[in-house]
Amino acid sequence: MFIDGLQYCNWSEKIFQQWRTSNLTAVHVTISYHEQFRDTVSNFEQWNSWFEKYPSLIMPAYYAEDIEVAKNQNKTAVIFGFQNPSPIEDDIGLVEILHRLGGRFMQLSYNNQSLLATGCYEDNDPGITRMGKEVIKEMNRIGMVVDMSHSSEKSTFEAIELSERPIVISHANPSFWHPAKRNKSNEILLRLSENKGMLGFSLYPHHLKNSSNCSVEDFCSMIAKTVDLMGIDHVGFGSDLCQDQPDSIVEWMRVGKWTKEIDYGEGSASNPGFPDMPDWFRDNRDWHNIITGLSKTGFNQEEIDKIKGKNWFKFFRESFTPSLKK
């Protein structure tokens, strides 16, 4: 198994071909950022057209068994997630509808305060809201995973405690390595692992020590230190790769429709666009550099296989089905 826990690329046949070249078994794909319900449905329609157009390369995955089918057929399975709860608008009933359409992950906030939780860029963190508590229950019931990648510290702690099923931080790194607002504290990561959750290591330069100049050796050393903290069974990749996206997309990610001002997020006025990727991970063709780096860092093959995808696959198998609780 080889699984990436998050990408948001400018999708094309070229990228799907690169997935196959790198033998990616499955990719968690962002299908919605700021889109509300109807526009999210349009995004599902677009993906359906790609599944029809490129049936030898990609297929949808609704359950872990679909990933096994993709592996056996030399395809890449696509798992859908939302980086913001905007697709459910203010209607808890839409959670189940979106799950039936194929959504398997939903972040409770994206940088800002939402109806459900607080984002990591807010000055004040009141935690999970009343609606957020109800939505977590509903997500647990139907088998949609709570993702707190862009959420604040208190909200993330509360989500871990409130959720009866393990949650994820699908794309972030530990703040002990690089203190970005989006990276997570040791306390969060330890509690996440104690509750059998998952962390996906991000390759987005603003989450990396020394940004675009981060070395693969430093990145793999960080993974080793995080494994010492969390254990080998609770980590994987969540590259946050935005391959071939124009700079206008990162501006839209940051501002949506919530402000008339320019918000630079993790960038700056002098560096407002997408940062350059490290030279050892330019795009989906370069996964082999990280696998080689893990080996050189001292991971054995069994450990590398877990980080590559076995951990994510086990998590998917236990998370995508409805709760057995009556």
- Of 259, 311, 276, 198, residue with least CA distance to 34: 259
- Of 219, 204, 177, 209, residue with least CA distance to 275: 204
Element (H, E) at 305: helix 301-305
pLDDT in tens, the chain (326 residues): 999 999 999 999 999 999 999 999 999 999 999 999 999 999 999 999 999 999 999 999 999 999 999 999 999 999 999 999 999 999 999 999 999 999 999 999 988 889 999 998 888 999 999 999 999 999 999 999 999 999 999 999 999 999 999 999 999 999 999 999 999 999 999 999 999 999 999 999 999 999 999 999 999 999 999 999 999 999 999 999 999 888 777 776 777 777 777 776 776 776 777 789 999 999 999 999 999 999 999 999 999 999 999 999 999 999 999 876 54
- Of 194, 195, 96, residue with least CA distance to 137: 96
Whether residue 147 contacts residue 169, with contact meaning beta carbons closer than 8 Å, is answered with yes
Domains of the chain, earliest start first: 3-319 (3.20.20.140)
User: What is the model's pTM?
Assistant: 0.94
